[in-house]
Structure 1
């Protein structure tokens, strides 16, 4: 049974006054999903280890880049179809003017490096980790998948031209394998 007393109310009131005097740190995230024509957020991802930061805007500045995101490394659809499709089509995409192909997942950089090694991505697809989901949150392309640990990326692909989204393909259910596959990209010349 709850007993409300004046001392409890005074304590909560004093705590509220104390916390409003402190500076509050906030991080801005997009309020609507990213769309064609939007500039990418300047977020750091990680390649191979936490020491190797890769800023998405710097990576895509002045280049055409294909970026695709998956719900999780080593998951069946991602490992059997999605990532292998980009590895197999890397030479074709690069012959059509793509400078880099990037795979992003809400995983740690060691997991992404191991997954890339298993699929021989070196020189074909860069494996970038978004461990806190900051990039995916900034794009507003996240989803909650409790069996995979909670917050994850929806499955999508995009063509980025000079840090601006030129093409965006988000799976209708967030996880399926239809529009975000490598052979579905429509690169502009």
Structure 2
């Protein structure tokens, strides 16, 4: 069963690239006591993710902050090195925190796993956006099929 508005995020550990190398970070550390705009993509460097999804959140980072969002987080079922490189090459480092869900445990625990085996990508995350307040889901927007609408930065901003 998929997570829903009002649910607490499950405990999970992400990997994050830092200046000192890869470091684990838990959901409690990321979401506890903060308002976080979280969005997930099926894969770093994929066309929609790189051309529209991540850039939208980078471009609107100031708008999110002005509406009370403490942090913007992007997660994907990719390894920490890929997420770090994608953040750097996209110039997202100052605006968006890039967290690797390398084994897909977070996506699976949310009930938002995607089987992209037909594309040679294995198990991934569905594309979604979420507003999380102190670890509790306040808004949840899951895309249908191959769409890119409700997980976009502008859509989530409109819910604030």
Same fold (TM over 0.5): yes
Post-superposition Cα deviations, 1:67-123, rounded to whole Å, max 9, x if no partner, equal: 000000000000000000000000110111000000000000000000001111122
2:8 aligned residue: 39
Displacement, 1:148? 4.4
1:134 aligned residue: 105
The answer on whether the counterparts of 1:96 and 1:187 sit within 8 Å (CA) in structure 2 is: no
In terms of fraction of residues, the more strand-rich structure is 2
2:72 aligned residue: 101
2:115 aligned residue: 144
2:134 aligned residue: 162
Give the SS at the match of 2:30. Answer: helix
Counterpart among 21, 25, 31 of residue 60 in structure 1: 31
Which TM-score applies when normalising by structure 1?
A: 0.79
Aligned-partner Cα distance in 2 for 1:76–1:101: 21
Aligned-partner Cα distance in 2 for 1:139–1:183: 23
Please say if 1:171 is aligned against 2:140. Answer: no
Which TM-score applies when normalising by structure 2?
A: 0.93
Unaligned runs of 5+ in 2: none
Aligned-partner Cα distance in 1 for 2:22–2:88: 19
Bigger radius of gyration among the two: 1
Q: Which has the higher contact order (CA 8 A, sep 6+)?
A: 2
Aligned-partner Cα distance in 2 for 1:117–1:176: 26
The answer on whether the counterparts of 2:114 and 2:125 sit within 8 Å (CA) in structure 1 is: yes
Displacement, 1:149? 1.8
2:45 aligned residue: 74
Equivalenced residues, count: 156
